[in-house]
Structure 1
Amino acid sequence: MIDLGYSLSNRFPDPPQTDYRTADVRALRHDLFCGDVYVADVEADRELSTAWGWVPVLDFAWALCDVVERIDRDPLGSRAAVPQHAELDFTESTDRMYFRRRFGWVEIGADWQDAEEPPLNLNHAELRREARDFLHDLVADLTDMHEALGDNPAVWTLLARFPRV
């Protein structure tokens, strides 16, 4: 089982004058909703998490959905023997998460992870479902905090691009 989560930072609050209804994609992806994120393999009791406080959590959810789709471009899908690779880099940092899909499994590692620590090994179909659920749940949480975000066309487009599976 996969668990994706986040916490918003008190150290890096959104600017008080922010108009969430008209915030552009750059602001949504890089300037707002900073905090920390994690990806956990519940069965193995292991996780990859940030502890920096400045990760744009909406950008992480957005990029994770994009990465999961990118590593599924081989026409053979889960039967493909050739590994598919992708990276998720963090804004304002050189740190990255690495994704390697082979057959129906995805290995996830990170620059900041201990070199002796093996990568997480997750089922691709489950990761796709959980990533999209995480995105929709995150947007719902953020919209509860900032009602105008629900009227933002960029958010509508994002949710339409990655519907729940």
Structure 2
Amino acid sequence: MLDIGYALSRRFPDPAQLDYSRADVHTLRHDLFCGDVYLADTEADRELSTAWGWVPVLDFAWALCDIVETLDKDPMGSRASRPQYAELDFTESTDRMLFARRFGWVDIEADWMDPDEAPLTFSHTELRREVRDFLHDLVADLTDLHDSLADNPAIWSLLSRFPRTQ
């Protein structure tokens, strides 16, 4: 089972005076809500996590949603034998998370993993569901911290673009 989580950094607090309802997409994705993130395979008791403290958590969730859709571009879907690839670049470093989908399964690895370590593997359907749940739960948490975020049109668009799945 896949678990996706985050922890906001105390070293990079969000500005209290910011009007979150008017923050533009660049600010939302790159300048706010910094911390660390993880993807965990709870059955295998393995995780892929950052420990840098500066990862823009909302951008990570947003990028994961985009990546899951990119991995679903092949018209053959889960029957496609040709691998589909995507990567998530961390803007403040050279590190990346790499995603490869084949036959409905997605392997996830990162540049900072031990080369002998096997990738985390999840079904594409589970990954899509969990990534979207993570996005919606994260936005709910961030809205609890900053009430005006709920009034931001970019957040409305984001949540409508990636609705929860069953």
Note the alpha carbon deviations across 1:90-137, whole angstroms, 9 max, x for none: 121111000000011000000111111111011110000000000000
Instruction: State the secondary structure of the residue aligned to 2:40.
Output: strand
Q: Which blocks of at least 5 consecutive residues in structure 1 are unaligned? A: none
Aligned-residue Cα RMSD (Å) equals 0.6
Listed as ranges, the matches of 1:47-58 within 5 Å are 47-58=47-58
Give 1:13-162 correspondences, 5 Å limit.
13-162=13-162
The percent of aligned pairs where both chains have the same amino acid is: 75
- Which residues of structure 2 form unaligned runs of 5+? none
When normalised by structure 1's length, the TM-score is 0.99
Counterparts of 2:23 and 2:90 in 1: how far apart (Å)?
Answer: 20
* Inter-partner Cα distance in structure 1 for 2:31 and 2:160: 22
- Deviating beyond 4 angstroms after TM superposition, the runs of 4 or more aligned structure 1 residues are none
Q: Aligned partners of 2:124 and 2:18: how far apart in 1?
A: 36
C-alpha displacement of 1:14: 1.1
Q: Which amino acid aligns with 2:30?
A: H
Q: CA deviation at 1:15?
A: 2.0
Distance 2:2 2:88 in 1: 18
Q: How many residues align?
A: 165
Question: SS of the residue aligned with 1:69?
Answer: helix
Q: Hey, what's the Cα distance between the residues in 2 that align with 1:93 and 1:155?
A: 26
Following superposition, the deviation at residue 17 of structure 1 comes to 2.2
- Normalised to the residue count of structure 2, the TM-score between the two structures is 0.98
